Structure 1
Amino acid sequence: MFKKVYKFNLANSVRLSEPKLFYTLPINFSHNYSTKSTVIQLLNNIGSKREVEQYLKYFTSVSQQQFAVIKVGGAIITQQLNELASCLAFLYHVGLYPIVLHGTGPQINELLENEGVEPEYEDGIRITNPKTMEVVRKCFLEQNLTLVTALEKIGVHARPITGGVFEANYLDKDKYQLVGKITGVNKNPIEAAINSGYLPILTSLAETSSGQLLNVNADVAAGELAREFEPLKIVYLNEKGGIINGSTGEKISTINLDEEFDDLMKESWVKYGTKLKIKEINDLLQHLPRSSSVAIIDVNDLQKELFTDSGAGTLIRRGYKLVNRNSLSEFGNPDLLRNALLRDPEIKSGKLSVASYLKFLEGINFKSYGDEPLEVLSIVLENGKFPKLDKFLSSKTGWLNNVTDNIFNSIKKDFDELFWIVNENDSNLAWYFSKSDGSFAKNGQILFWYGLNTNEVSELIKDFDTSSIGSALASNVFTNGQQKRGYHKRAYSTKKVALIGARGYTGQNLIKLIDNHPYLEISHVSSRELEGQKLQGYNKDNIVYSNLQPEDIKKLEQDKKVDVWVMALPNGVCKPFVDVIDAVGNPDSKIIDLSADYRFDTSGEWVYGLPELNDRSKIANAKKISNPGCYATAAQIAIAPLKKYIDGIPNIFGVSGYSGAGTKPSSKNNVELLQNNLIPYSLTDHVHEKEISSQLNLPVAFTPHVAQWFQGISHTINIPIKRESLTSREIRNIYQDRYHDEKLITINGDVPLVKDISNKHGVIVGGFAVNSNQDRVVIVATIDNLLKGAASQCLQNINLSQGFNEYEGIPL
């Protein structure tokens, strides 16, 4: 029923320029099928279910007329009519009725040129003589009818309103002729249309009291509508999709006028139409409730702007001025300060009380930064050798409105050098990295800094390393998990990795990953077949394969030459090596086994290393980690979220590329035999069937196959569920909610393909097809067996075990 034009995975994100997701409704779209629930399901494709429900509730909290005013540029009707109509259809079918006003500038110019009339402008205003007005009126009527017709064809009731709304006087009759200045807005035609269930589609033609038509700038007319209706959202659709910073060439994400307007007006690139537009918007918002905002966006981003936290284009709002304070007495409202401090994780957990922290502040020099309502609060301590950012706490509103960036920029103006400490498990580390010159990690804490020279950094790290700086507090300031990653050079101490049995495909991929990892080095590689040969694909050092025996490993372990032992050996082979490492008793070294030998451990000594489903803290603190199997990883991720709904035995049809059979020649990696062929094997009791069942505590049936491609696995999984318990959309929502913060798991409504996962470091889960009896769902999962199925997952476990960021060295 819907033609998909662009499709990207859009999770919650900050206000960044991102790919667009948009659905075009075909011309024969039937209103009978355009139910509210269907459209809400489609809206869920551009954001989470929580976001869509949150914004729908927000928008329906006011009268229908107060939802939004949308100003449409004339070029959009000509160039993007289908997209515009589809955008408005989405809103209409969820019961939202924006007031739509369109311009027609490009069409007017074209008609004037065809009739040999040269357009004339004065101060950016079109001089409208009677001949030009004839063309203007004709264009407005044609474009209005074009949009209304397009909407009606896809089941949207729309009402053309081409007059009777704007009352005007001549702006300057001698100078501009038939150009008007709006003196009043008649709401009745608009309200009548909405009350009858029609979208009002307006032109910006105005009339004098005697009935003379006057031409009015569409932006100005949209502003007058907004003043009259005081809508929650004011949207300007244009071709650029926002305001472009003339210095950087980048789209501006957010403008908080109360804080930024004066400085913005001084920018050299803010001139002509851009300056006029910002001034008009500033004047408009000064007369509207502070909750109102203006969004300048591309038509394809309309739903994303309205229904996601990330928004799109340029968001302009009043915001609040920033306030600096140097003492507790300057906080006029102590309850406001207490509420802001309650966002701090240590205070929330009970480790620290608000009263004790306020007492602490009384005896030291500090400087605080915040907006007027303290949606964001930062506190910089000035007592030490270097200033320390001790608190940076924000509400969701403060983050979404970009107040956090404004405050950090204000801090940088006052402090040329600064350091701060963040818990390494903070899901928004990328923001901290983007603000820093460097960082150093230890014991789950990350020290950040900017502006310090090499000697000062060394001194700071030394103090941090000996814990004299004090414990860090985790920050809740940045609550959006879809920030783009911004890794900077960090001063982690380098860890040594030894690979035992490194000749196979998994070993080769792990070597490549470690070669690009900033804090890992290979110290030893062991392979009986390759002994004496140079390690290929590793550029950090000249490493030669050795054939390490248990006694050699024991000596290396006693001398503490290795931080991480990776056992990349066939099943049933690594026990002697593990035993000698255990016997030495070095508490700091870690073992990660890539075989199946310890995946069924019942002693409690081994932790199963699937971070997305297991407790990450247990993996980080474990001495011995069993790396999951490739088939098993994808299957568990694909089944786990539905466990409580399952009513029977899931059946897994798995197909792998022949790299999964290893490098030792066999029928399963015989390229000639695999040509135009599919080979099933281990039809029952495969080791991965046991692994999946034991980890999920749920019996499954698994049949593996090998195909003619090299790497990548596809699972088609039939899962019996309780009858009539879930729809396809509800199931997808369950998965999106479960894996919302997982950077290596993608939830996709489409069926994922092997070619899309090959050489990628994650799992894609999709399909979510429910049968007609609603007692079975089919889910498809893909994974690269050599990467997330082995090497990448091993690197996740190494990173966790060494206190690095879990995804360090894994291309995202």
Structure 2
Amino acid sequence: MSEQPYDPYIPSGSNGPSASAGSAAQNGDPRTREIDKKIQETVDTMRSNIFKVSERGERLDSLQDKTDNLAVSAQGFRRGANRVRKQMWWKDMKMRVCLVICIICLLIVIIVPAGVELFFLPESGFSKKAGEKNRARLRLHCVRSKTIESCRMLVDKMFSLRTAVRRASTSKPLRALSAPHAVSSARLCSPRHALKASAVPLLQSRPYSRAADPHLSSTRSTVVQLLSNIGSKREVQQYLSHFTSVSSQQFAVIKVGGAIITEHLQTLSSALAFLNHVGLYPIVVHGAGPQLNRMLEAAGVEPQFEDGIRVTDGKTLALARKLFLEENLKLIEELERMGVRARPINAGVFYADYLDKEKYNLVGKINGVNKKPIESAIEAGCLPILTSMAETPDGQVLNVNADVAAGELARALQPLKIVYLAEKGGLFNGDTGEKISVINLDEEYDHLMTQWWVRHGTRLKIKEMKELLNDLPRTSSVAIIHPADLQKELFTDSGAGTLIRRGNKVHTKTSLAEFEDLEKLKDVLVRDREGLDARATVDRYVEGLKERDFKVYYDEPMEALAVVLPPSQDNSSSFPHLATFTITKSGWLSNVADNVFAAIKKDFPQLVWTVKENDENLTWFFDKADGSLSRDGEVLFWYGIESGEEVKQLVQEFNQHGRQMFGDINLEARLQRAAQAATNIGKGFGASGASVEQKRAFSSTANALRAARFGRPAVSPSAVRSYSTTNPNPPLGEKNMSNNRPSKVALIGARGYTGQALINLINAHPYMDLRHVSSRELAGKKLQGYDKREIVYENLSPEDVKRMSANGDVDCWVMALPNGVCKPFVDAVDQGSETGNVIVDLSADYRFDDKWTYGLPELVNRGKIAQATRISNPGCYATAAQIGIAPLVPYLGGQPTVFGVSGYSGAGTKPSPKNDVQNLTNNIIPYSLTDHIHEREISTQLGTSIAFIPHVAVWFQGIHHTINIPLNQEMTSRDIRNIYQERYAGEKLVKIIGEAPLVKNIAGRHGIEVGGFAVHSSGKRVVVCATIDNLLKGAATQCLQNMNLALGYGEYEGIPLE
């Protein structure tokens, strides 16, 4: 008989309960059996309790481990929480201020009486009696009810939308949209609009170009501020900028179902009014299917359908036309009640043939779209409201499906967004019952078509969306949403309905040999990187990848690219590390970042990475991470690390070393170290210079800093400028700043308009110290408009300049002299300074001298300008023309022609017919129609011949170029605009817009606007328009850019940026 295991709950000496039971059975004692049974039950109960206690102990141990993990993570989260608390406080304060302003505006609108009486004095004089007889009275009538109702609806919409966003933000994943603008033509009723010519003018000024209507910009700014309280400032600005980057008719086509007009008319109208307030013009196409069915039933006509298409006879068509007109007017009247101008378009847009006359009768198949009625409505400041009716060449009206009409209209206009408004508000997953947020057709279409719940109408809709998007640019997308969620869908990352887009498949590579074009990989890694030697650092980094394991993730056009390094023995990190993650602005907007990161997460369940604290997309990284820690402007993120000890070790190492903890495997750390090393070298040289010659310590430091930069190995510029689809020459911002000491500046020739503009800029610059101003005509007079010190105009000779240069009195000389005058002064600087002070020449004297650097930072290698001591500032005409042509140089099919018109300030201050206002009034003066010096300058810099035809007009400052460019291949307006947007990505002084830019909008501003992009019907000729302020970016602002680069400051330091 086998021995039973020892049990502490069976008395020693006993054979256990089974033995006792057997003995009792033998003795036949019932009482003994009962006792043994109870003992057995007690033992079982106690054993069960022991097991439960053991399990609880294990749970306590697990909870203790998790508590330790949370305690370690709490250190990092505490700092982040404090920062978020401050941000939320400021955000709440801004929201309250905005709401107070809105309430005040509403009160003013409500309280101010409808009639305003204005009195004007007669020109001959004024007396009480004469004034009673002769004063002119003008009464202005403003329709207050529409304005008040519009404002009320706007504020109500803000509150309801804010609540909806808060509800959805906790459960919806982040995603981005793709989708434009025109300035609203609605005018506020203002007394000054009614002034008569006979009124006495109180102020008289020269005819400067005026900016856009301040009322409209104020309304837009207020709405943007309110939107910022709904989502984030970054989201609102990103999407508004994206929407306004194309012409007005290319913003969105919105298809409205008949049920929406019946059940949600006010909600729909409020949403459309809201878009109009921010300067956007959606094109609305509506049907009336449910209403038509009810009307036919009431008339005793039974609706007939074949293959889902309504069979339309003459009686049905007559009823449909009447109904469509009624529904169209119903929507327009509601919009106009809210103060929004709308125009009904019931015919003249869609051309069609019979779909199948015998089968469907009066049903059409659209074969053409006339865009003129739509463009005319938008130009007049009206929202176009279309019905789904088409016409044959013979004038016969045909019925067409509203969905089909919206699709054909989208194919013709190629908008950023196509919106289908539906009561359900999106497509739903049949398995989970949840609304589908995003569908990326390139990756998900085949899979979706195999799902059981993708059938009938859902299957047909997805298939039609795919066919539609295949005919549109990849940036276009389709949204299916409820009208109440229209703003949230357009202006927030989280969205509200279902977004359908083509998307991009994510590709991976694990070795450099798999890349067909290694230079393209380097171009992507170096884009938007600040630093003179960024390219060299990237080259070394890519070479280093040959010796270690890595995995690269990217989409097809490489809008987003990530390099992940798995842990290995020679790596500084024991976790997979995101070594670099670069993504373009359009990549953020099209949600490519989410796709790439999702692919990374599938392959790497654990990951660590770092991001700069001032990154505008920091919140996106927070959403992707399980934990984070901030230190000295850097944030460490991680996910998938559950061990408290591992988190503790990671946090301690980051606290000690920051981003440097990853060593050479992190590209961002290598770029940062390179920039820091350059700064340290500059400081070392500065100290040495100061010790060598104390009396010139101020000047020597500046010169030594420049010498340090000049001695550093730099990217060797190509002999011929290259152009690519991304910005190969990104700006050098504050991160590249290597000098924090003031620089002494001398201005030779300060009498002209450009000199005065430059003085104003230097006055606001934190590091520029203007010491000498030379003007022969103004010598001895006090300089006006400069507040840092009192300066008197001098009349400096070349001998004076030579002496001052030798003594180190000046760090930077600016030559603002007429053409052919500055050479003696330049020679004097060369003779007086061995190391060479910086000279920036604003004339044309050295623009064709190879020894001088051409100072157009947006197109010339910025590293070359930063190392230069002799910089020739481009001409105003030439700057705008080059910016307008450069991205299309690889696609030129002939000689571009530039038709330029400048304000008369470009003719200088010396009196001439070209700056005589009386001569210019109602006039435009052509001059130097061939062989103008700018024609030679532009042709030389672009490497191709161009024709330039200059004119001068009556406004004071500002230039407009109309540039005709032949193409060597067929291209669309969208293709060309994308090329410009990508080429000038990150440029703070170049703005790409959809509409043709206007001189009145650029005057007084420091950048360049490029737009228009009108493509000929052949697709092989484009007209591009560019505007520039000839005194600022055309001269003074560009001069300051070059000075900043050459003296070691941030490129945009002291330049007002919008």
Provide the TM-score with structure 1 as the length reference: 0.53
In the alignment, the residues of structure 2 paired with residue 235 and residue 445 of structure 1 have an alpha-carbon distance, to the nearest angstrom, of 58
Whether the 8 Å contact between 1:497 and 1:523 is mirrored in structure 2 is yes
Is 1:195 paired with 2:459? yes
Among residues 408, 418, 430, which one is paired with 2:630 in the alignment? Answer: 408
Cα pair distance change 1:787/1:420, threshold 3 Å: farther
Distance 2:738 2:878 in 1: 34
CA offsets, 1:376-409, max 9 Å, x none? 5249xxxxxxxxx9x9999999759576995437
Q: Residue 461 of structure 2 aligns to a residue in which SS?
A: coil
Instruction: Describe the shift of the 1:772–1:805 C-alpha distance in structure 2 as closer, same or farther (beyond 3 A).
Output: same
1:377 equivalent to 2:587? Answer no
User: Aligned pairs, how many?
Assistant: 533
Amino acid at match of 1:80: A
The 5 Å alignment of 1:770-785 reads 770-785=1015-1030
Instruction: Name the structure 2 match of 1:794.
Output: 1039
Instruction: Determine the C-alpha separation between the residues in 2 that align with 1:617 and 1:486.
Output: 15
1:18 aligns with 2:237: yes
Deviation at residue 697 of structure 1 after TM alignment = 2.3
Change over 3 Å in CA distance of 1:237–1:497 after alignment to 2:
farther
CA distance in 1, matches of 2:762, 2:626: 35
User: Contact between 1:712 and 1:758, CA under 8 Å: does it hold in 2?
Assistant: yes
Higher strand share: 1
Render the CA deviation track for 1:6-37: whole Å, top value 9, x for unaligned.
Answer: 799x9xx995431654999xxxxxxxxxxxxx
Distance in structure 1 (CA, Å) of the matches to 2:180 and 2:431: 42
Conservation of the 8 A alpha-carbon contact between 2:840 and 2:1039: yes
2:867 and 2:744 mapped to 1: Cα distance? 18
Map of 1:762 onto structure 2: 1007
Whether 1:524 and 2:772 are equivalent positions in the alignment is: yes
Aligned partners of 1:635 and 1:652 also within 8 Å = yes
Kept after mapping to 1: 8 A contact 2:738/2:1049: no
Deviation at 1:579, TM superposition (A): 0.5
Residue in structure 1 matched with residue 123 of structure 2 by the alignment = none
Between 783-792 and 75-84, the greater mean CA deviation after superposition: 75-84
- Give the residue type in structure 2 aligned to 1:350: R
**Alpha-carbon separation, structure 2, partners of 1:780 and 1:242:** 34
| Contact kept? 1:565, 1:591, Cα under 8 Å | yes
Correspondences of 1:702-721 after superposition (within 5 Å): 702-721=948-967
- The amino acid of 1:772's aligned partner reads S
Q: Does 2:539 correspond to 1:349?
A: yes
1:672: which partner in 2?
918
Aligned to 1:737: 982
Change in Cα spacing, 1:5 to 1:392, as seen in structure 2 (3 Å) is closer
Partners of 1:350 and 1:164 lie apart in 2 by 49
Please say if 1:641 is aligned against 2:887.
yes
Structure 2 counterpart of 1:17, which letter? V
What residue in structure 2 maps to residue 686 of structure 1?
A: 932
Any conservation in 1 of the 2:880–2:1027 contact (CA below 8 Å)?
yes
3-state SS of the aligned residue for 1:17?
A: helix
Cα deviation, residue 586, structure 1: 3.1
Name the CA distance, whole Å, in 2 between partners of 1:726 and 1:737.
16
> Quick one: structure 1 residues 405 and 566, their matched pair in 2 at CA, closer, same or farther if it must change by over 3 Å?
farther
Gap change, CA 1:428 and 1:756, over 3 Å in 2: farther
Do the aligned residues in 2 keep the contact of 1:501 with 1:527 (CA within 8 Å)?
yes
CA contact (8 A) 1:14 1:480 kept: no
1:650 aligns with 2:650: no
- Return closer, same or farther for 1:683/1:785 CA change in 2, 3 Å cut-off: same
Cα deviation, residue 674, structure 1: 1.2
Q: Following superposition of structure 1 onto structure 2, how do residues 132-143 of structure 1 map, counting pairs within 5 Å?
A: none
Amino acid in the other structure paired with 1:195: R
Bigger CA radius of gyration: 2
SS at match of 1:197: helix
1:619 and 2:869 correspond: no
Give yes or no for contact 2:424–2:481 (8 Å, CA) kept in 1.
no
- Deviation track 1:605-651 (CA, whole Å, cap 9, x = no partner) reads 20111111111111111120100000011111111222232233222
- Distance in 1 of aligned mates of 2:737 and 2:1048: 16
Q: Whole-Å Cα distance in 1 between the matches of residues 734 and 537 of structure 2?
A: 29
Offset of 1:533 from its aligned partner?
Answer: 1.3
Structure 1 residues 781 and 192: alpha-carbon distance in aligned structure 2, compared to 1, 3 A threshold: same
Partner of 2:342: none
1:22-101 matches, cutoff 5 A = 77=268, 79-80=270-271
Matched ranges for 1:542-581 at <5 A: 542-581=790-829
- The amino acid of 1:538's aligned partner reads Y
Cα offset for 1:777? 1.9
Aligned residue runs from structure 1 range 238-253, under 5 A: none
Do the aligned residues in 1 keep the contact of 2:729 with 2:861 (CA within 8 Å)? no
* Separation in 1, partners of 2:677, 2:965: 46
TM-superposed deviation, 1:296: 3.8
Superposed, 1:162-311 pairs within 5 Å as: 191-197=455-461, 296-297=494-495
Residue 655 of structure 1: CA displacement?
Answer: 0.5
**Change over 3 Å in CA distance of 1:634–1:345 after alignment to 2:** closer
Which range moved further: 712-721 or 768-777? 768-777
1:495-535 deviation per Cα after TM superposition (whole angstroms, max 9, x unaligned): 11111111111111111111111111111111111111111
CA distance in 2, matches of 1:717, 1:164: 49
1:160–1:784 CA distance, 2 compared to 1 (3 A):
closer
Q: Deviations over 1:127-163 (max 9, x none)?
A: xxxxxxxxxxxxxxxxxxxxxx986874598987799
Partners of 2:734 and 2:1051 in 1: how far apart? 14
C-alpha deviation, 1:482, in angstroms: 12
- Judge conservation of contact 1:394–1:404 (CA < 8 Å) in 2: no
Deviations 1:31-57 (A, max 9, x none): xxxxxxxxx99999789xxxxxxxxxx
Q: 1:195 to 1:780 in 2, by over 3 A?
A: same
SS across alignment from 1:408 = strand
Letter in 1 for 2:781: Q
**Aligned AA (1:377):** W
CA distance in 2, matches of 1:165, 1:378: 36
Hey, what's the Cα distance between the residues in 2 that align with 1:406 and 1:235?
35
Partner Cα separation in structure 2 for residue 713 and residue 164 of structure 1: 53
Which deviates the most, 644-653 or 370-379? 370-379
Mapped contact 2:830–2:836 kept (Cα < 8 A): no
The one-letter code matched in structure 1 to 2:540 is G
Find the aligned partners of 1:377 and 1:703 in 2 and give their Cα distance. Answer: 54
Deviations 1:340-386 (A, max 9, x none): xx999887432795899999x9999999999986765249xxxxxxx
Secondary structure of the 2:814 match is strand
Whole-Å separation in 2 of the counterparts to 1:408 and 1:519:
31
Instruction: Report the Cα distance in structure 1 between the residues aligned to 2:904 and 2:1016, rounded to whole angstroms.
Output: 32
Q: Cα RMSD between the aligned structures?
A: 6.2
Residue identity (%): 43
CA distance in 2, matches of 1:23, 1:802: 35
Question: Residue deviations 1:77-123, cap 9 Å, x none?
Answer: 57327999979999xxxxxxxxxxxxxxxxxxxxxxxxxxxxxxxxx
Which structure's residues are more often helix, by fraction? 2
TM-score by length of 2: 0.42
Amino acid at match of 1:194: T
Structure 1 residues 442 and 367: alpha-carbon distance in aligned structure 2, compared to 1, 3 A threshold: farther
The amino acid that maps onto 1:567 is M
Asked if the contact 2:181–2:246 (Cα under 8 Å) also holds between the matched residues in 1, the reply is: no
| Pairing 1:490-529 to 2, within 5 Å after superposition | 492-529=740-777
Q: Is the 8 A contact 1:748 1:767 kept in 2?
A: yes
Letter in 1 for 2:955: W
Change in 2 beyond 3 A, CA 1:87/1:21: farther
Distance 1:482 1:630, change over 3 A: closer
Contact 2:814 2:842 in 1 (8 A): yes
* Partner SS state of residue 955, structure 2: coil
Shift of 1:715: 0.7
Which residues of structure 2 form unaligned runs of 5+?
A: 1-178, 185-219, 225-231, 253-262, 276-280, 287-400, 409-419, 433-450, 465-477, 505-524, 527-533, 549-564, 579-600, 638-650, 661-666, 685-700, 716-726
